Amino acid sequence: PWLVLSPILGFLFLKDSEAFRRSALAMLPRGRIRWRGDEFFQDVNSTLAAYIRAQLTACLLIGAISSLGFALIGLPSPLVLGIMSGMLEFVPLVGPLTVAILAVLLALLHSGWVMALVVLAFLGVMRLVQDYMFYPRIIGVGIHLHPLAVILAILAGAEIAGVAGIFLAIPVIAIITVTYRNWLEHRGSETIAEVFEAAVVEAEAKAEQRVRPTTTTTPSDMERARPDLLTGELKLPKIN
């Protein structure tokens, strides 16, 4: 069902994206938070657009390599098969598998087992090079992710949700990255380490605000700071 629903949902989001954005912004309080929300939606839009452009680039690359490879091998209608390879590259796993089955069957009917094995070897090598070298770099440059992060995201998506996970892994990790960056900007920090450091410094500052007894502490000072010591309750002081 995800193979059918994903294009439909994508079309609806693209068609009504401006209405969704305005509705979401209307739910945020006016001022800095709404401004930050608008910046967030613009960043998400730019990132997803970059992902689509990178995906189109990968499809064109696969189409060109497939057409050239099929022509060199001697398959009939290599251009048609190459165009089909590029178009079906949008559909993860199912698209390349469909092209492989069609190409191998065509080679088997055209010239026998030898050409079929050559086609299968060519598609296997191309798939490995594309999936682990070209595609992570193309997508990573488009959405500013390290190629290793792209590979790990796809593998994690495949384990969690199968074909749908492969299809949605990169957009999801891109949106998470944009969300993290906007959250840091909202806090005025550059890295998550600075967020933790600020929390530690704040906690230490609060701890230092505790009143400690000195040689000049009077009974009235002690009564205001630690009345439990005078009543005999001996409660632990509250740290705000």
Q: How far is CA 211 from CA 30, 65, 222, 223, 238, in A?
A: 40, 74, 9, 12, 11
pLDDT, tens digit, 9 for 90 and up, residues 113-144: 899 999 999 999 998 888 888 888 888 877 77
The confidence score (pLDDT) of residue 240 equals: 47
- Rounded Cα distance between 131 and 152, Å, is 12
The confidence score (pLDDT) of residue 70 equals: 92
The percentage of the chain sitting over the pLDDT mark of 70, rounded to a whole number, equals 73
24 touches 37 (CB < 8 A): yes
The confidence score (pLDDT) of residue 54 equals: 86
Q: What is the pLDDT along the chain (240 residues), one digit of tens a residue?
A: 555 666 676 677 767 777 877 888 888 787 777 878 888 888 888 888 888 888 889 899 999 999 999 999 988 889 999 999 999 888 777 788 899 999 999 999 888 889 999 999 999 999 888 888 888 888 887 777 778 888 888 888 888 877 778 878 888 888 888 888 888 877 765 555 555 555 555 555 554 555 555 556 676 766 666 665 555 444 445 544
> Is residue 240 classed as helix, strand or coil in its secondary structure?
coil
- The answer, as to whether pTM is greater than 0.85, is no
User: Can you read off the two tokens belonging to residue 88?
Assistant: 């079906």
The confidence score (pLDDT) of residue 217 equals: 63
Query: How much is the CA Rg of the chain, to the nearest whole Å?
Result: 29
pLDDT, tens digit, 9 for 90 and up, residues 143-169: 777 788 888 888 888 888 777 788 788
The confidence score (pLDDT) of residue 140 equals: 80
Using alpha carbons, select from 125, 128, 127, 150 the residue that is nearest to residue 137. Answer: 150
